[in-house]
Amino acid sequence: MKPLYTLSVDLQFFAGEKTEKATPRKREDSRKKGQVAKSADLTGAFALFAMFLMLSFLGPYLGKQLFSVTKELLGPSYLLFDLSNGLSGMLTDLLLRVGLIVGPFFAVAVVFGILINYLQIGTLFSAEAIQPKLERIDPIKGVKRIISMKAVVEFLKSLFKLLIILTTAVAVLWQNQKELSRMAVEHIRESVIALAHITIELGLWVSVALLALALLDFFYQRFDFEKSIRMSKQDIKDEYKNSEGDPLIKSKIKQQQREMAMRRMMQEIPNADVVITNPTHYAVVIRYDDTKDFAPLVVAKGVDRVAFNIRDVAKEHDIPIVENKPLARALYAQMDIGEVVDESFYQAIAEVLAFVYQLKQPS
């Protein structure tokens, strides 16, 4: 016997599987915690490439400066002068001269490090990320981190990076094997210059290879970050409740607001002048006090059940009820509660009020 109907149930909703993309609020909360998609390899690779690129352009100039400084520092007159003034003075002068040569490379590394980090994550300061947490020194969680899938991926990345560096280095050295073999018979100055050229070439090729790997790592880090901040359907529902409020509570609040507005509206009916009806479906309450109002005012209106309640309250307080189908419908559709009647209704309202005033006059 076939079932009369089938019921489709989304089991992922109950399983809590994180299959949904993170909401903007989730992303903002993760960013406040310092959790962003960033590749540390990309920063290091760019800095290394910039340093070797700078060295390739300024190599001859820096080499001359280094030779002159070395020659001057190792000269007998300089040694005798500095030894007479003390060893600390000689070391200070040596560090200052070497620092002027090496300093620009560190400056380039720092500038590129800051720039690449900014391009990846923008401006970010998270106090929560640097707060001490006891769970970080938990040995059990430490072992879990060591044997986790992320740790395995990082280990494989390191091995692959080492393999790429060794392969690139062997390729560059193999290409320059003639220059390396001539270094043994050439003058020391020419040998140092040739070694410097080979070193710069090796550094550029290695940094380019690392840069290519770092770009792949950057896309992997973005993929892994997006995966780590995924949310389940229940998470999205809970977030909506926390940010927008529980729908049940919101509906109750709106219901209470409607009830309060209804009570205020009903309290205005005893002070009104007339109730214009459909006669059964619509009811619009008009008040006009020439000492307070410069024009007739709609103080209440309703349809169906509310219209019946308006008529009941009007009868209890002897408020005249006038049947005018087109006027009642038009007022209900075009005018809001507390709003002055539009000029297009002045003549019709004036006729109704005149009729009401005649009824109130003693016979």
Greater confidence, 232 or 87? 232
Greatest mean pLDDT among 20-34, 101-115, 186-200, 302-316? 302-316
pLDDT (tens digit per residue) in 25-35: 787 877 777 77
Q: What is the mean pLDDT of the chain?
A: 76
pLDDT of 113 over the 70 cut:
yes
CATH class of 254-360: alpha beta
Closest Cα to residue 281, out of 323, 337, 338?
323
Q: Would you list the domain boundaries of the chain? A: 33-128+158-230, 254-360
Note the pLDDT tens digit of each residue in 44-92.
888 888 888 888 777 677 767 667 666 666 555 555 555 555 556 566 7
Of the listed ranges 81-90, 102-111, 283-292, the one predicted with least confidence = 81-90
In this model, does residue 107 exceed pLDDT 70? Answer: yes
For 161-170, the CB contacts below 8 A with 24+ separation are 161/41, 161/210, 161/213, 164/209, 164/210, 164/213, 165/206, 165/209, 165/210, 168/202, 168/205, 168/206, 168/209, 169/202, 169/206
DSSP 127-180: TGGGS--GGGG-HHHHHHHHTSHHHHHHHHHHHHHHHHHHHHHHHHHHHTHHHH
Exposure string (b/e) for 1-27, b if CB count within 10 Å is 16 or more? eeeeeeeeeeeeeeeeebeeebbeebb
User: Would you state the pLDDT for residue 145?
Assistant: 57
CA distance linking residue 192 with residue 186, whole number of Å: 10
Sequence-distant (≥ 6) Cβ neighbours of residue 195 within 8 angstroms? 183
Consecutive H or E run containing 235: helix 233-244
Residue 324, SS3 per DSSP: coil
Give the model's pLDDT for residue 6: 47
Lowest mean pLDDT among 116-130, 247-261, 296-310: 116-130
Residue 284 sits at φ, ψ, to 5 deg, of: -130, 130
The proportion of the chain whose per-residue pLDDT surpasses 90, expressed as a percent, equals 0
